[in-house]
Structure 1
Amino acid sequence: MKIHKTAAYDADRELTELLGVESRLYKIGMLDTQAQEVLRLATTVDELSLLLFEPYEYRPGFHADERQVTLPCFFTKVDGHTHQLMSTARKWKQDHNRTTLVYGGFHSLDQRPTTYSVKTAKELDQSALKEKQDLEPLAHLSEVKKDRVVQSAFKVMQWLDGELKLSYKKPELLAALLLDNRHILDAYHHTELTQTVPKCIVEDNQKKVPSVIALARMLMMHALGFDVLVVSKHHYSSIENYLPIEWFDHHVMSAQEMDKENHRSSPVGQVIGMVMIAALVLIYFVFKR
C-alpha cells in the first residue's frame, strides 16, 4: 500500500517523540483547573452561524495561560427563519447528547423546586454549600466544578438583586439552581473544555413568557460557559422582557440568511487547521536545525 505522509504529519510525529506528549495545543483536562472568566460574544448573525458549533479555542476572545482561561460564549435570541439553525442544533445534539440541552419551550426551565429542596436551601449559605460534599446533585461534580456552580448561583442572585432588579424568593431560587437542576449540572459535569462548548437551546413556540426561575437557570448556564440560545420563529418575546439589550444579542434571521446557512460550509475550522499545520511545519524545521 502506498502512503503519502504530509510535512505536518512528520512534524507532529517528531515533536511527539521529542516532547514526550502529543503536540496538540491544549490537552484534555488542561483548561479545567484554571480560574475561568466568561466572555459574552457579540456578533453578527453570520458570525453566529460560523462560530456556534466551534470550540472555545477557535473563537475570538479566547485566552488561556497558567492562571486563567477566558471562555467566549453566546447568550443570544434569534427570531424569524430559524428552521435550519434548529435542524443543525438537533444534529449537533445527537453527537453531543451529554453536553447539549435542547428544549421545546421554557416549561422544563420553569420547573419549580420541590418543597423538600426549598426547605434544605433555607439552611444553606455560600460557605455552608462548600462544606456539603454529599449534597445532591452536586455530589458527582469535581471539587473545582462544584465551587464554580455555587459561585455562579450566587452571582446570578447578585445580578437579579442589582442590575436586573427582579424579585424572587431566595430559598426557592437557590433550590432551583443547585438542588433541582440535574439536567444542567449533568451537562456541566460531562463538559471538557478542550472538547466541546456546552449548550442550552430553547425553541420558543409558545407565547408564555419564561419565569424568573427559567431566566436564572439560563443566566447560571451562561456564567458557567454554556452557549445559551433562545430561538423563536414566531418572534415571541421572552428574555427581552427581563434583560437589557446589552446583556444578550438579538438577531432576526431572514429567508435569505437561512438560505445562506443552508449552503455555507464553515471555513473557521479549515483556517485554524491550516494555521496549525503551518506552525507545526515551522517548529519541525526549527527542531531539525
Structure 2
Amino acid sequence: MVRVVRFHEHGGPEVLRIEDVEVPPPGPGEVRIRVKALGLNRAEALLRRGTYIETPHLPSGLGLEAAGIVDALGEGVAGFATGEAVSIVPPLSMVRWPAYGELATFPAELVVRHPPSLSWEAAAALWMPYLTAYGALVEIAGLGGADFVIITAASSSVGLAATQIANMIGATVIAVTRTSAKKQALLAFGAAHVIASAEEDLKVRLQDITGPEGVRVVFDAVGGPIFGTLTAAMSRGGILIEYGGLSPEPTPFPLFAVLSKRLTLRGYLVHEITGDPARLAAAKAFILDGVAAGALRPVIARTFPFEEIVAAHRFLESNEQFGKIVVTV
C-alpha cells in the first residue's frame, strides 16, 4: 500500500484526500517511479473542479509532473534501470497516468533522465512549462532575435519559461502581469518591459514600446477583454498563440484587426508536442541544452510537503506565486 492523492467529488482544494491504495506493477511499455517531487499545474485544479478538457471517473487521481527514481520496469522497456533518477514529460491523460502519489506509472517514452545538476524540485518543475513555451515560441511562431514578444500571465511558470527561451533566442520580452506587485521581479528576471494591465493603459504602453510597427508574436494564457488590445498592438502578419483561458469574461473576436493585419490566431496545447515523437525529441534536446548552458532554470515559487497537498492547491489558486509550486514526497 502506498499513499496517493485522489478526489471523490468535484470542488475546491478541500476535496483532495491522501489515501492508501495498491499500485499495480507497470504494464508493457511503462515505467513505475518512486516519486520524490511533484510540479503543480492549473490543469490539476481544473480537473479537480470538473472544468478541465478531460472528464474523470470518480474517485480520480491527478497530476502531470513528477521527478523520482525508477522503481520497476514493464515488459519491453529498454534503456532504463531501477534506481535511476528521472523526470516525467506530462502525459496526455492525468486520469490514466496520475502523478500525485508515492508511486506513479508512466509510458516509458515520457520518462527522461534529467541533468544531475537539477534538484528533485527543479526536475519536477521542468517539462510542462518549458515544453509549452518551446512549442509555441520556437516551433509554431518561429521566434527570432529581431522580434518583440508579448507574454501574458508572465509570472506563471510557463510565462517565466517563455521569458527565458525568448531571451535565449535574443527576442525582446514585453511581460504583462495584472498588478505591479511582481514588476521588479519580472524585470530582474529578464523582461525588457513589464506592463501591469490592471494599473496601466495596456494599449498606450504597448504603442509606446513598439511604435507603429507593432508586435509579431503574442503568447497569451488569459483571453477575455485583453484579447482585442493585444491584437491591436500586433504587426501585419503577426501570430497570437492562445494556450489558456484564465479570464472568466468572454473573449471577443477582433474581426477588423484580424482582417486588416492578416493575423493568425492559433489555439495551442502542449499535447501536440508531447504526442509527436520527432517534435518531442527536438524539444527535449533544446531544453536540455538550455539547462546545461544555464540559460534555462526552473523557478520554484514555494515548496510544500506531500501531507499539505490541500494547502498547496490553495496557494496554486491564490495567484500569488512567482514560478512553479512544488510538492515533495
Higher relative contact order (CA 8 A, sep 6+): 1
TM-score w.r.t. length of structure 1: 0.27
Higher helix residue share: 1
The structure with the largest alpha-carbon Rg is: 1
Q: TM-score, normalization: structure 2?
A: 0.25
More strand by share: 2
